[in-house]
Amino acid sequence: MTTEHRPHGNGPSPNTETGPRPIRSYVIRSGRLTSSQRKAIDNYWQDYVIEYQTSPLALNALFHNKADTVLEIGFGMGDSLLEMAINTPSVNFLGVEVHKPGIGKLLHGIAEAGLDNLKVINHDAKEVLLNCFEDESLWKIQIFFPDPWHKKRHNKRRLIQDEFVQLLASKLKVSGELHLATDWEPYAEHMLEKLDTCEMLVNSAGPACYSASGDRPVTRFENRGKKLGHKVRDLRYVKS
């Protein structure tokens, strides 16, 4: 199994002051920052990290051009997202991630490549989607290899659930694309069921069918999964 995220220890537990805590689809790993990652965070955070806010972002003001915006949720170490931004300078990219080592590595790559079309948000993706984007403001949303939560008792922690799919679809422009990928077959089936039942989305490959990966770069997690014999399945949907 390969994942961009890891299980979160912050499950739903009672809180007498604020009510139940939200069910998270990730855990903040305690991995150490390398010296390069720490240096990149110190030097480039102010240039490339967008601070979370509870009101919609002015996307045209974040970048030097007024191009369409692609949002990637859970970019891991950021290699494939960096490659996309380098290869597609006419498109703006925003990556959402909670893990500092991955953010540090990506910031280093952004600065090294001198990119002005890629920025980062370090916050919970559900809250970012809910609060930081107007409806029908994103050209594409991509989620590659989210944690499949393969144990049945943990399935409720999967990121792709009915309510979240509705939220994803609401933020896409008409004709915008939602692209997901996983190497865990039961999660692929779960995703397919949830996405196919969303009235705002049309399966590009046809109902109950998986898609070709298209021009998506291969991620390190994907390579690891393939070495373990896992079949990768892509799901691509268009906002109707």
DSSP character string of 10-68: ------TTT-SPPPPS-----PPPPHHHHHHHHHHHHHHBPPP-SS---HHHHSSS---
Q: Which of 147, 196, 215, 234 is catalytic?
A: 147
Bridge partners of 141?
Answer: 71, 178
Distant-in-sequence, close-in-space partners of 63: CB < 8 Å, separation ≥ 6? 92, 116, 117, 119
Residue-wise burial string across 19-35, b where 16 or more C-beta atoms lie within 10 A, e elsewhere: eeeeebbbbeeeeeeee
Q: Are 167 and 125 in contact (CB under 8 A)?
A: no
Q: Verify whether residue 147 is a known catalytic residue.
A: yes
What are the catalytic residues?
147
